[in-house]
Amino acid sequence: MTTRRELLARLRAAVGDRNVAWRPEDLLLYEYDGTIEKKLPYAVAFPDGADETAAVVRACNELGVPVTPRGAGTGLSGGAVPARRGVVIATTRMRRILEIDPVNRLAVVEPGLPNIQLSEAAAVHGLFYAPDPSSQKACTIGGNVAENAGGPHCLSLGVTTNHVLGIEVVTAAGEITWLGGRVPDAHGYDLRGAFIGSEGTLGIVTKVVVRLVPVPASVVTLLAVFDTVEQASETVSAIISAGLIPAAMEMMDRTTLQAAEAGLQCGYPPDAGAVLLVELDGLAEMVDSQAASVRGECLERGATDVRTARDAAERELLWKGRKGAIGSLGRIAPNYYILDGVVPRSRLVDVMATVADVSARYDLPIANVFHAGDGNLHPCVMFDEREPGATERVLSAGAEIMRACVEAGGSLSGEHGIGFEKQKFMPWLYNEADLENMARLRPVFGNEGAFNPCKLLPGGTGCGEMAHQEAALRAAGPDAYV
């Protein structure tokens, strides 16, 4: 058994006294991420580099204390919530750009670097980093790797795994190693690919080698206005069926539009039933031709208006509304629960009808803003957690929507990960043998159950005993055994 004093002493020896948080008022900042789950850690360690990260991991392993990796805490599936308390290892001190190589079009960065800062630094070379989550001003590259994050502009270019060449990691056993390197398609088993999207259950990223791509020569951004979500959904399939793969194709419904326009004044039509935000990029001649085709598909399927951004400033304003839309929903309700299901584009109309039905039956407003081009839905269930029973209703409504996505031939996540909130749904997609084989990968990296426990795969040692453990610890006093 380990006392709290012993744990803090080991953490301070690894990263320095100033880089360990343990006071209750400081720990409150690390009990949650972007979902509705909460759990207070015993301490938070802030290592700087692989050596310090490994030292913290080894100390926790020796003391039998669970570890939860954390980036910026913007995750939306409970992946950074310390489900069994223990120690949170935050990567926020590791935020440097170590190298930009414009000739080979790559960069080497630390995991705590905010996503948008990489593209800003690469812009002087005419390059950018393609994955662009809506939280890109805050979310970090390491967190993106853990969740295999996507973003609006990943429709044609792919998600994080398509843009990461190599990663330096500290495994769950506390060992430092490289997976992949500086060139694509290294020989041997793709352990790099296995690690990306493993949600912090195999180790912690300490360096990342990423691909950079050229800034497009020309960009055209269209805003198509529809009376109904159904019309907009049908148009998505029509555009793709016409052989067009836009850089981005996003949808927002009336509830989202009204909230975004009230909060951000982006020029959205607040009375529209839905809009499609479509962006095309490439050579000017090609883009102009594609834009004309997209406009035609939209008008043919009932669009009442199709606007073209006149300049970069107007384009930026339209994207400001899309990327800030979810935050604007705070005007409607104090809390929201955002879902992340994927469906075939051909089933968008059916599943969106199910979302509307769930909203009516549970008497919960649901705003829809999502990556329509790849069928990645983000229904936002709005509620007030202070209302008795509200959170339970929201979780039940969310489970129905996720089940509908799976039954439509889709999956449980497009970019937010499974985390804590959806691990119990994994048997909907995988049989017992599948899940057992996935679980066998964890001990290879040194995870015997205490490294980001209760995440990704169903169950987990001690996950059902948390409430009893907490009650006993509170009764035992501030220096209780961990």
Confidence of residue 459 (pLDDT cuts 50, 70, 90): confident
Q: What is the pLDDT of residue 136?
A: 95
Query: Is pLDDT at 206 greater than 60 in this prediction?
Result: yes
Q: What is the pLDDT of residue 474?
A: 45
Residue range 385-414: mean pLDDT, rounded: 97
Q: What is the pLDDT of residue 23?
A: 97
Per the prediction, the chain carries an average pLDDT of 94
Q: For residue 201, list its beta bridge partners.
A: none
Domains of the chain: 4-92+441-476 (3.30.43.10), 97-214 (3.30.465.10), 218-327 (3.30.70.2190), 333-420 (3.30.70.2740)
CA–CA gap between residue 278 and residue 240 (Å, rounded): 12
Q: What is the pLDDT of residue 460?
A: 59
**Encoded tokens for 136:** 């890109």
Q: What is the pLDDT of residue 480?
A: 44
| Torsional sign, CA 395, 399, 400, 405 | positive
| 99-151 tens-digit pLDDT | 999 999 999 999 999 999 999 999 999 999 999 999 999 999 999 999 999 99
Q: What is the pLDDT of residue 468?
A: 34
Q: What is the pLDDT of residue 462?
A: 58
Q: Which of 150, 24, 30 is nearest to 88 (CA)?
A: 30
Query: Is pLDDT at 185 greater than 90 in this prediction?
Result: no
Q: What is the pLDDT of residue 2?
A: 83
Q: For residue 282, list its beta bridge partners.
A: 218
| 11-34 tens-digit pLDDT | 999 999 999 999 999 999 999 999
| 37-81 tens-digit pLDDT | 999 999 999 999 999 999 999 999 999 999 999 999 999 999 999
Question: What is the dihedral angle through the alpha carbons of 69, 71, 75, 77, rounded to the nearest 10 degrees?
Answer: 0
Q: What is the pLDDT of residue 187?
A: 83
| 258-286 tens-digit pLDDT | 999 999 999 999 899 999 999 999 999 99
Confidence of residue 461 (pLDDT cuts 50, 70, 90): low
Contact (Cβ atoms closer than 8 angstroms) between residue 480 and residue 4? yes
Confidence of residue 222 (pLDDT cuts 50, 70, 90): very high
